[in-house]
Amino acid sequence: MQAGSAFRAELREGWRELAAATFGLAFGVAGYTAISSLFFLSLRQEFGWSSSAAGVAFLVLPLTACVLPLVGRLTDRFGVPAVAGLSAIAQLCAYLALAAQSGALSWYFVAFLVLNLLGSGTGPVTYTRLITRRFSRARGTALALAQFGIAGFAVILPPVVAAVIEGSGWRTAYLGLAGLTALGAAVAQILMRRDRTGDAQTRTGGEQADPRLVRQLTSEAIRSRPFWVLIAAVFALSAGSLGVVTQFQPILALRGLSMHQGGWLLSLLAGSVMASRIVTGLVLDRSAPALWAAAIVLIAAGGAAILAVAGANVVVIAAGIVLFGASVGAELDLMSFFCARQFDLRAYSSIYGLLAVGFYIGMAAGAAAFGAIFDLFGRAEPALWSSVLCFIFAAGLFATLHRR
């Protein structure tokens, strides 16, 4: 009973941090993933680009991975509000640049680089720090609720973006994203800066950490086995999930589904992600979170297998999408939870930034490989089965993680 009361008290008292992280993440750079295929399909049709061009664009993600440790270090040093605020400005500028492009792949790649590189401070590397420092007993649930904002945003956005693209064009859709970015960042900043219930600096992650201590704790983490197990698991999970997501709309189009149907199926995927995240957060706060993590990833493997054999059957595709949704974004939830569980919280963002290298390189590898396989075979089944193998490998790694 006492444990349950403490769980509820943490959620009640930490609502500002939770709300700030939820808004910040929902309108941050991570929200673009769910709708990227809608934009690229329109760009490919207008400018004559190949499917692999989308994968090549994602090769900028290893460059993003290189700066994430720096972003994490800056967050530990200067706090969440400063880093997230500047990154939101960069994200807004990137959307404006994407809206102004005229077909040059170099322009697209540079804008995509700015979005992911300079806009990375609007992602989990910063905002999850609010949660891990504020919550203990309800940490898994709070992390899930905060990143629930990304999934919630993705439920509403795909059909809206698809309708805007069909009715007013992709440029208008990009301008709309720029406006939403400004709105979300403003709300998050207000929530972080107007905390009058306690020490606002400490509760919003705005305190300054001792740089020498952070370096020492980060060095100790890198030398530990859990660090490398976690980074490998995150790599495999992100490669398997993002490869599918980046080519989601072209896969459905090849199977005879319209963009309108694709938009709603993207919403179904986002709805599945939302539900699975809440369940994930709740089970991670129970005993044996490592085994629960492995089970969640195996469910996603089953979803990818169903998608591989579904053909043009919309009902079967929908069933596969529901199960596959357990993997999309799960790498972020699991990485945040196990980073806080395995390592010292005083260096959380610095260590998280290093772990995120595996996430971004996995995204790049999955997107590029999936696009290349799609162009080579003209069908998605080989890549989908590769995703199944990635998920099984990741599940085995997560099962070995135990509390330090």
Domain boundary assignment for the chain: 2-398
**Pair of tokens at residue 155:** 């439920």
The set of residues, in sequence order, having a beta carbon less than 8 Å from that of 160 and lying 6+ positions away, is none
pLDDT band at 98 (very low <50, low <70, confident <90, very high): very high
The set of residues, in sequence order, having a beta carbon less than 8 Å from that of 229 and lying 6+ positions away, is 397, 400, 401
**Pair of tokens at residue 302:** 């089953």
The tens digit of pLDDT for each residue in 269-295 reads: 877 877 787 788 888 887 788 998 999
Q: Which of 130-134, 268-272, 389-393 has the highest mean pLDDT?
A: 389-393
The pLDDT value recorded for residue 55 is 59
pLDDT band at 3 (very low <50, low <70, confident <90, very high): low
pLDDT band at 171 (very low <50, low <70, confident <90, very high): very high
Question: Mean pLDDT over residues 26-50, rounded?
Answer: 81
The whole-angstrom separation of Cα 240 and Cα 392 is: 10
CA 260 vs CA 82, 306, 314, 380: distances in Å? 39, 22, 13, 20
The pLDDT value recorded for residue 403 is 61
The whole-angstrom separation of Cα 163 and Cα 176 is: 12
Question: Mean pLDDT over residues 199-209, rounded?
Answer: 47
Cβ–Cβ under 8 Å, residues 128 and 143? yes
Cβ–Cβ under 8 Å, residues 401 and 342? yes
The pLDDT value recorded for residue 6 is 64
Architecture of domain 2-398: Up-down Bundle (1.20)
Question: Mean pLDDT over residues 198-216, rounded?
Answer: 60
Question: Mean pLDDT over residues 57-74, rounded?
Answer: 79
The pLDDT value recorded for residue 4 is 60
The pLDDT value recorded for residue 205 is 47
CA 86 vs CA 50, 122, 260, 343: distances in Å? 34, 9, 35, 27
Q: What percent of the chain has pLDDT over 70?
A: 90
pLDDT band at 181 (very low <50, low <70, confident <90, very high): very high
104-110 contacts: CB < 8 A, separation 24 or more?
Answer: 105/49, 105/53, 105/56, 108/43, 108/57, 109/56, 109/57, 109/60
Q: Is the pTM of this model over 0.85?
A: no
Question: One-letter amino acid identity for 41?
Answer: L
SS3 for 296-345, per residue? HHHHHHHHHHHHHHCCCCHHHHHHHHHHHCCCCCHHHHHHHHHHHHHCCH
Question: Mean pLDDT over residues 231-244, rounded?
Answer: 88
Who wins on pLDDT, 280 or 51? 280
